[in-house]
Amino acid sequence: MKFNLASFGAGLLFGLGLLVSGMANPEKVLGFLDIAGQWDPSLAFVMGGAILVGLFAFAVAKQRTVSFLGFNMRLPGSDRPDRRLLVGSLLFGAGWGLAGFCPGPGLVALGAGETGALVFVVAMVAGMGLFEVIEKNRVAN
């Protein structure tokens, strides 16, 4: 119960932050990516804030073996990017640039009733399913 409540609270805070910052609006994201046109730098400030929070959170997490909720800490094991990470990053960036959504804002926009988000979320879930099939086949071989 404690975990579910914490997860709900974190998701609610994240979703509200996306709405307040405008990051659930694909036009805002595409405006940031349009460096040759009417560039909107506001996403850079949101990203900078997220990086600062992440740096602090990971610094604290590295010092702990158990989370604040009592669960074992599971941090990434490698500092080196591999081919899978690079290919995944390229696919993520291409999808982000085409749709103006990444997973969090896509779900927030879907919840807000934006129809374009429905197409994005369906494609995202299909991509997750495809990844699972590929992973099962990769591990089995």
Domain boundaries, the chain: 2-140
pTM of the entire predicted model: 0.72
Distance CA 139, CA 61 (A): 30
Name the residue among 20, 50, 29, 48 with its Cα closest to residue 93.
29
Looking at residue 128, its pLDDT comes to 92
Question: Which residues on neighbouring strands pair with residue 72, listed in sequence order?
Answer: 66
Contacts of residue 32, defined as CB under 8 A and 6 or more positions apart, other chains included, come to 39, 40, 41, 42, 43, 44
pLDDT computed for residue 90 by the predictor: 92
Low-confidence ranges of the chain (pLDDT < 50): none
pLDDT for 53: 92
Q: What is the pLDDT of residue 116?
A: 86
| Per-residue pLDDT at 96 | 86
